[in-house]
């Protein structure tokens, strides 16, 4: 058994069986992470390069911990302070890193599709850690994995994705992933932040956040991606918080206790209030914990393919 893909570029290319296999493997790694010795020697002969052309706290730390706990050697690269600012191209940068005998590349890039482009030019396995406004596959996997922990099998479960759907790679990867697992998805937010024709991805649109919350079992609240919005799409953050932010009063008015998720970083008081983010219904920190196990599973399952391609 192995994944049907050589790289993890997007959830779009995975099948339900791949996702199930990643979850099953992550279960085992989660168990390893609870032991006194949180490390296995599986990839002690593997070197992984984390190449980040965009800022990151969680994802980068999470990948680095996952790699180290699999016994791999890790090199980190960030675009700021590198030769990228001297005009080196993406392929040259990566090929130089690979010339130092690196076996796998974890990459975040601000250009959508960058990992696909890279995959055509290098032999090493690539894990997409976020590309522009396109996909963030490991986030979607850890989100679905965390939902499954709370709700059991996701088939028929209702998931609302709230906020900046237009600029969020988390939203797109989540939609692909949840669809493949049989969950129902509703996206909600200001009309200017919801792409036209998003229904073609198999989701429903509900502009009223309260109604979306009433409908769902779990709400995944997303950050406003101000850095990707090149023209004003809503008037003020205060107005956004007023009409689209999730607060405790809103949650308490619902008939059932829904699960609250957020991929981070949180903008407290904008898309989510502190009394929600820190409430018992919030599993934001469980998501972070599961992230390491999911990334260990992805790296482990992709690493076995090395010899088959040589």
Partner 1 sequence: MKTLLSSTHMNITLQRLAHQLVENHLSFADTVLIGIQPRGIYLSDRIARLVKKISGNNNINYGLLDITFYRDDVHTTNIQVPSHTDISFSIEDKNVILIDDVLYTGRTIRSAMDALIDFGRPKKVELLTLIDRRFSRELPVQPDYVGYSVDTILTQKVKVYWDEKDGKDEVVLIEKNTEIK
7, 8, 25, 241: which one binds partner 1 (CB under 8 A):
25
CB–CB of 103/306 below 8 Å? yes
Which of 126, 129, 222, 301 binds partner 1 (CB under 8 A)? It is 301
Determine whether the annotation assigns residue 223 to a binding site.
yes
57 assigned to a ligand binding site? no
Question: From residue 82, how far is each of 53, 61, 138, 248 by CA, in Å?
Answer: 10, 19, 26, 44
Per-residue burial over 21-44, b if 16 or more Cβ lie within 10 Å, else e, is bbbebbeebbebbeeeeeebebbe
Interacting residue with partner 1 among 50, 62, 290, 303 (CB under 8 A): 303
287 assigned ligand-binding residue: no
Nearest alpha-carbon partner for 68 in 296, 291, 288: 296
Among 204, 210, 268, 306, binds partner 1 (CB under 8 A): 306
Please state, in angstroms and rounded to a whole number, the distance separating the CA atoms of residues 219 and 246.
10
Is the CB of residue 143 less than 8 Å from the CB of residue 218? no
| Residue 79 phi, psi (nearest 5) | -60, -40
How many residues bind partner 1 (CB under 8 A)? The answer is 26
Cα dist from 101 to 122, 247, 307, whole Å: 13, 50, 15
- Which position among 52, 53, 63, 300 is part of the footprint of partner 1 (CB under 8 A)? 300
Residue 251 Cβ vs partner 1, minimum distance, rounded to whole Å: 35
Nearer to partner 1, 70 or 94 (CB): 70
Q: Which is nearer to partner 1, 41 or 152 (CB)?
A: 41
Residues 26-65 that bind partner 1 (CB under 8 A): 27-28, 31-32, 35, 37, 39-43, 45
Among residue numbers 245 through 274, which ones bind partner 1 (CB under 8 A)?
none
* Range 61-120, binding partner 1 (CB under 8 A): 70
**Cα dihedral sign, 172-178-180-183:** negative
Q: Considering the complex, what minimum distance in angstroms separates the CB of residue 98 from partner 1? A: 17
CB nearer partner 1, residue 141 or residue 258 = 141
Burial 195-204 (b: 16+ CB within 10 A, else e): beebeeeebe
Span of 24-32, 47-55, 87-95, 239-247 interacting with partner 1 by CB under 8 A = 24-32
- 265 has binding-site annotation: yes
Helix-helix angle 137-151:16-33, to 10 degrees:
80
Stretch that binds partner 1, among 111-119, 216-224, 238-246, 299-307 (CB under 8 A): 299-307
Ligand-binding site membership of 69 (annotated): no
Instruction: Report the residue number, 77 or 300, with the smaller CB distance to partner 1.
Output: 300
The strand pair at 218-221 and 158-162 is best described as parallel
Return the number of other C-beta atoms located less than 10 Å from residue 272's C-beta: 27
Lookup result for tokens 């030769």: 83
Query: Which residues are known binding-site members?
Result: 58-59, 86, 108, 136, 139, 169, 223, 264-265
Annotated binding residues for L-aspartate, written as ranges, equal 86, 169, 223
Which residues make up each annotated binding site for carbamoyl phosphate? 58-59, 108, 136, 139, 264-265
């Amino acid at each position: 058994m192995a994944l049907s893909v050589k790289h993890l570029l997007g959830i779009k290319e995975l099948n339900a069986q791949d996702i199930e296999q990643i979850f099953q493997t992550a279960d085992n790694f989660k168990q390893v992470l609870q032991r006194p010795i949180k490390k296995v020697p599986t990839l002690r002969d593997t070197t992984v390069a984390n190449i980040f052309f965009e800022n990151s706290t969680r994802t980068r730390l999470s990948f680095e911990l996952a790699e180290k706990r699999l016994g791999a050697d890790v090199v980190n690269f960030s675009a700021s302070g590198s030769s990228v600012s001297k005009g080196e191209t993406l392929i040259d940068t990566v090929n130089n890193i690979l010339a130092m005998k690196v076996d796998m590349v974890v990459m975040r890039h601000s250009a959508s599709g960058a990992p696909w482009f890279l995959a055509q030019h290098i032999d090493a396995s690539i894990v997409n850690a976020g590309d522009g406004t396109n996909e963030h596959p490991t986030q979607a996997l850890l989100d679905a994995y965390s939902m499954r922990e709370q709700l059991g099998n996701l088939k028929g479960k209702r998931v609302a994705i709230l906020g900046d759907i237009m600029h969020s790679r988390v939203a797109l990867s989540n939609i692909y992933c949840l669809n493949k697992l049989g969950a129902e998805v509703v996206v909600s937010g200001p009309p200017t932040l919801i792409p036209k024709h998003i229904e073609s991805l198999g989701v429903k649109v509900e502009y009223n956040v309260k109604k979306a919350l009433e409908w769902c079992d779990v709400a995944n609240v997303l950050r406003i991606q101000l850095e990707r919005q090149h023209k004003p799409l809503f008037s003020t953050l205060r107005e956004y918080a007023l009409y689209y932010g999730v607060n405790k009063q809103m949650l308490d008015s619902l008939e059932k206790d829904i699960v609250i998720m957020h991929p981070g970083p949180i903008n407290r008081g904008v898309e989510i209030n502190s009394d929600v983010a820190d409430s018992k219904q919030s599993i934001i920190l469980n998501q972070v914990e599961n992230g390491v196990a999911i990334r260990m599973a992805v790296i482990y399952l992709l690493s076995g393919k090395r010899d088959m391609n040589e």
